[in-house]
Amino acid sequence: MYNMDEWKHVFKLDPAKDISDEVLDQICESGTDAIIVGGTDEVTLDGVLQLLSYIRRYSVPVILEISNLESVTPGFDYYFVPMVLNSQNKKWLVDKQHEAVVEYGDVINWEEMYAEGYCIMNPPESKVFQHTDCSLPTEDEAIAYARMAEHLFRLPFYYVEYSGKYGDPNLVEAISNQLSNTKLIYGGGISTKSQAEEMSQFADMIVVGNAIYENPKEALKTVKAVKK
Ligand code: 1GP
């Protein structure tokens, strides 16, 4: 339906956070390649549906990044399914996903589903890191997960997640050198044009989240920085 190979920039909207219609309009019209709807906690069906129906007024592709079963609804272009590779608990790698397939396996449209191998590099005190019971990988370990994503699991996406903190471009570059079929997604702390430019040299797709809520004007500029 869409050619994801060409996507370079996406915005991530959190259904649990407040956003004005004005900013939402600007995000939808920004020229970004897609909008991901997703968050860590307090993601409800109500919140997801509200965002979906608003964004649907525009032609931008919209993806649900599944955070819990209760908030899944039809109507998105794609569904991204996180698998946390550096979680210490297999619940976040495969069990939650398995539960969903046990319940909905017969009605899932597999064409719309894409697995994301997450490597969560946030500081250990961060919410998402704790929530998914991660252990912080060294650089070599993060690279090894990328190699597994590419060669063993043949995942469509490997997601280097620094949410809330700008990551290490050298590591993102080293990871990108290991990937050819698996697309590299980078997300975390991008709030300026130059950060967007820097990370998109190495990542196939960059994700801008928090900046939309903290400084929407700067966040909007990240689109042009990447899509020249
Ligand atoms: C969060 O990777 C995304 O899942 C984006 O991170 O919110 O820090 O931009 P930020």
* pLDDT 10s digits, 71-104: 999 999 999 999 999 999 999 999 999 999 999 9
pLDDT tens for the 228 residues of the chain, in order? 799 999 999 999 999 999 999 999 999 999 999 999 999 889 999 999 999 999 999 999 999 999 999 999 999 999 999 999 999 999 999 999 999 999 999 999 999 999 999 999 998 888 889 999 999 999 999 999 999 999 999 999 999 999 999 999 999 999 999 999 999 999 999 999 999 999 999 999 999 999 999 999 999 999 999 997
Q: Which residue has 């570059």 as its token pair? A: 173
**Residue 63 near residue 37, CB atoms below 8 Å:** yes
223 Cβ closer than 6 Å to some ligand 1 atom: no
Q: Which residue has 């004007």 as its token pair? A: 217
* DSSP assignment string, the chain: ---GGG--EEEEE-TTS---HHHHHHHHTS--SEEEE--SSS--HHHHHHHHHHHTTSSS-EEEE---GGG--S--SEEEEEEETTBSSGGGTTHHHHHHHHHHTTT--GGGEEEEEEEE-S-TTSHHHHHTTB----HHHHHHHHHIIIIIS--SEEEEE-TTS---HHHHHHHHTT-SSSEEEEES---SHHHHHHHHTT-SEEEE-HHHHH-HHHHHHHHHHH--
What atom in ligand 1 is closest to the CA of residue 128? 4
Structure tokens at 75: 């109507």
Instruction: Name all domains of the chain by residue range, CATH numbers in brackets.
Output: 8-227 (3.20.20.390)
Contacts of 213 (CB under 8 A, 6+ apart): 14, 17, 19
Cα of 129 to ligand 1 centre, how many Å?
A: 13
Cα of 78 to ligand 1 centre, how many Å?
A: 19
Q: Which residue has 């060409």 as its token pair? A: 6
Protein residue whose Cα sits closest to atom 4 of ligand 1: 163
What atom in ligand 1 is closest to the CA of residue 161? 2
Per-residue pLDDT at 40: 84
Per-residue pLDDT at 123: 86
In sequence order, the β-bridge partners of residue 82 are 116
Per-residue pLDDT at 41: 84
Per-residue pLDDT at 176: 98
Q: Which residue has 């909905």 as its token pair? A: 104
Cα of 14 to ligand 1 centre, how many Å?
A: 10
Protein residue whose Cα sits closest to atom 3 of ligand 1: 187
What atom in ligand 1 is closest to the CA of residue 166? 8
Protein residue whose Cα sits closest to atom 9 of ligand 1: 209
The residue whose CB lies within 8 Å of the most ligand 1 atoms, and thus the one to mutate among 67, 162, 185, is: 162
82 Cβ closer than 6 Å to some ligand 1 atom: no
208 Cβ closer than 6 Å to some ligand 1 atom: yes
* pLDDT 10s digits, 196-227: 999 999 999 999 999 999 999 999 999 999 99
206 Cβ closer than 6 Å to some ligand 1 atom: no
Per-residue pLDDT at 228: 77
pTM: 0.97
